[in-house]
A and B are shown apart, each in its own frame.
Chain A
Amino acid sequence: MSLFDTDELVINMGPQHPSTHGVLRVVLRLDGERVVGADVVIGYLHRGIEKLSEHRDWQQIVMLTDRMDYVSAATSNLGYCETVEKLMQIEVPRRARYIRTILSELQRIASHNLWLGTHAMDIGAMTVFLYNFRERELILDLFEEFCGARLTYSSMRIGGLPLDIPSGWARKVSAFCDLFETKIPEYEDLLTHNRIWKERTRNIGVISGADAIAIGLTGPPLRGSGVPRDVRKDEPYAAYDEFDFDVPIGSAGDIYDRYLVRLEEFRQSLRIIRQAIAGLPEGPVVGKVPRLIKPPAGETYHAIESPKGELGFFIVSDGRSNVPYRFRVRPPSFCNLQALPRLIKGHLVADVVAMIGSIDIVLGEVDR
Chain B
Amino acid sequence: MGVNPAPPAGPPDPPPPADLSVPGFISPLQSALPDAVTQVSYWVGDWTMIVATNRLLDVMRHLRTAQEASFDACCDVTATDWPPRAERFDVSYALFSTRHRHRVRVKVRVADSQAVPSVTSVWPSANWLEREVFDMFGIPFDGHPDLRRILMPDEWQGHPQRKDYPLEGPGEMLLENPMDWLRLRYEP
Contact = CB atoms under 8 A, between A and B. Distances in A.
A234 B160 contact: no
A150 interface: no
Interface in B51-99: 72-76, 78, 80-81, 92, 94, 98
Contacts of B4: 318, 320-321
Interface in A14-56: 42-43, 46, 48, 50-52, 54-55
A229 interface: yes
Contact of B44 (A51, A89, A235, A335): A89
Nearest to A335: B125
A176 interface: no
B11 interface: yes
A83 B74 CA distance: 19
A86 interface: yes
Contacts of A318: 4, 8
A31 B80 CA distance: 43
User: Chain B: interface secondary structure?
Assistant: loop
Given A216-B123, A322-B2, A301 B128 contact: no
Interface residues of A, number: 48
Contacts of A300: 43-46
Nearest to B101: A234
B127 A214 contact: no
A51 B160 contact: yes
Contacts of B76: 301, 312, 314, 328, 330
B94 A301 contact: yes
Nearest to A298: B43
Interface in B91-144: 92, 94, 98, 101, 103, 105, 123-129, 132, 136
A368 B135 CA distance: 14
Nearest to B123: A214
Contact of B125 (A54, A55, A214): A214
Given A299-B11, A316-B11, A322-B2, A42 B151 contact: yes
A334 interface: yes
A42 B128 CA distance: 11
User: Max chain A CB contacts within 10 Å: which of B124, B152, B153?
Assistant: B124
A55 B73 contact: no
Contacts of A323: 1-2
A227 interface: yes
A367 B151 CA distance: 6
Contacts of A52: 167
Contact of B80 (A48, A89, A325, A335): A325
A335 B75 CA distance: 8
A326 interface: yes
Contacts, number: 123
A299 B11 CA distance: 7
Contacts of A368: 151
A241 to B, nearest CB: 13
B14 A298 contact: yes
A213 B81 CA distance: 29
Given A46-B152, A52-B167, A229-B98, A314 B78 contact: yes
Contacts of B75: 216, 218, 301, 303, 310, 312, 330, 335
Contacts of B129: 216, 335
A215 to B, nearest CB: 5
B12 interface: yes
A326 to B, nearest CB: 4
Interface string A316-349: 1011111101101010001101100000000000
Interface in A275-314: 297-301, 303, 310, 312, 314
A80 B158 CA distance: 28
B50 to A, nearest CB: 12
15 contacts: A42-B151, A51-B165, A51-B167, A54-B167, A55-B167, A216-B125, A216-B129, A227-B98, A298-B14, A300-B44, A301-B94, A323-B1, A330-B75, A337-B128, A338-B127
Interface of A: 42-43, 46, 48, 50-52, 54-55, 86-87, 89, 210, 213-216, 218, 227, 229, 234-235, 297-301, 303, 310, 312, 314, 316, 318-323, 325-326, 328, 330, 334-335, 337-338, 367-368
The 6 closest A-B pairs by CB, nearest first: A321-B2, A216-B125, A43-B151, A330-B76, A318-B8, A326-B80
